[in-house]
Amino acid sequence: MTLSSLIEFLTRGGPALWAIAVLSVLTLALILWRLMQFWALGVWRGQATDAVVALWCAGDAEAAQAALPARPGIRARLAAAAIGAVLNPRFDRATAEQETTRIAKGELADMRQGLRALELIATIAPLIGLLGTVLGMIEAFQSLQDSGAGADPAVLAGGIWQALLTTAAGMAVAIPAAMALSWFESVVERVQIDMEDIAGRLFAYAPNGPAA
């Protein structure tokens, strides 16, 4: 599809179709941005953290610290923060847990950036499409009324067809946005569960012995 034909197609749908086109670009940009951010945060790097936690639980705190990866993922960063808090002589158990929780919340907040925008797009895209269809139908039936007894059914059908374009376009944007949002949220939930498990085991097997 050439640029001129694309502009003509968008013009047929009116302002609603132009708005949906903008939302489609934003959706693609948000999905690609989130994928790159997840990769940068190390969401899919967790094997090194398992080794760190295993050494810690075995009572070898020095080896656990040495096993922390040079390029830690989000789980390893939490493990490093928890180990540092536990070994910090200024922190008691409650303070160490609070510090670890603060860092975990910050990491999870970074993971959730942009998800509200995707949720908003998935909600409003079909509504904008429906609004465009309603406005288009109103215009089509106004034309039918103005033409009186000499109305051409083909003209009416063409107006309805153009009006329905916005509904289809809105759904075409909302469906992938909703699917991406659901997958991103499942990844965040999985990471949150892993972080809670890591922190729980690190605090349970602190150097002074398992927690009571």
User: DSSP string spanning 85-150?
Assistant: HHH-TT--HHHHHHHHHHHHHHHHHHHTTTHHHHHHHHHHHHHHHHHHHHHHHHHHHHHHHHHGGG
Domain presence at residue 6: no
Paired tokens of 52: 């760190």
Domain presence at residue 199: yes
Domain presence at residue 198: yes
- When pLDDT is averaged across residues 112-119 and rounded to a whole number, the result is 94
Domain presence at residue 4: no
pLDDT in the model for residue 196: 94
User: What is the rounded CA–CA span in Å between residue 63 and residue 65?
Assistant: 5
Provide the number of structural domains found in the chain. 1
Whether the Cβ atoms of residue 111 and residue 43 lie closer than 8 Å to each other = yes
> Per residue in 163-183, is it b (16+ CB within 10 Å) or e — as a string?
bbbbbebbeebbebbbebbee
Which range marks the domain in which residue 138 is found? 16-210
The pTM for the full model equals 0.83
5: how many CB neighbours lie within 10 A of its CB?
Answer: 9
Domain presence at residue 172: yes
Nearest to 171 by CA among 119, 118, 129: 129
Whether the Cβ atoms of residue 52 and residue 68 lie closer than 8 Å to each other = yes
The pLDDT tens digits of the residues spanning 189-200 come to 999 999 999 999
- Which band of pLDDT confidence, cut at 50, 70 and 90, is reported for residue 177? very high
- When pLDDT is averaged across residues 93-113 and rounded to a whole number, the result is 93
Whether the Cβ atoms of residue 181 and residue 122 lie closer than 8 Å to each other = yes
Domain presence at residue 175: yes
Domain presence at residue 107: yes
The pLDDT tens digits of the residues spanning 17-40 come to 889 999 999 999 999 999 999 999
- Which band of pLDDT confidence, cut at 50, 70 and 90, is reported for residue 202? very high
Whether 210 shows a pLDDT value over 50: the answer reads no
Domain presence at residue 119: yes
> Per residue in 96-105, is it b (16+ CB within 10 Å) or e — as a string?
bbebbbebbe
